Amino acid sequence: MAKEIERKFLVTSEDWREGAHQIHYAQGYLSKEKECTVRVRIAEENAFLTIKGPVQGISRDEFEYPIPVEDAKEMLQLTSGNIVEKVRHRIQQGAHLWEVDEFLGKNRGLVVAEVELNDPSESIIFPPWIGKEVTGDPRYYNSSLAVLPFSEWKPESR
Q: Is 29 a catalytic residue?
A: yes
Choose the catalytic residue: 29, 65, 140, 141. 29
Cα–Cα distance measured from residue 123 to residue 112, given in angstroms and rounded to the nearest whole number: 19
- Residues labelled as active-site residues: 29
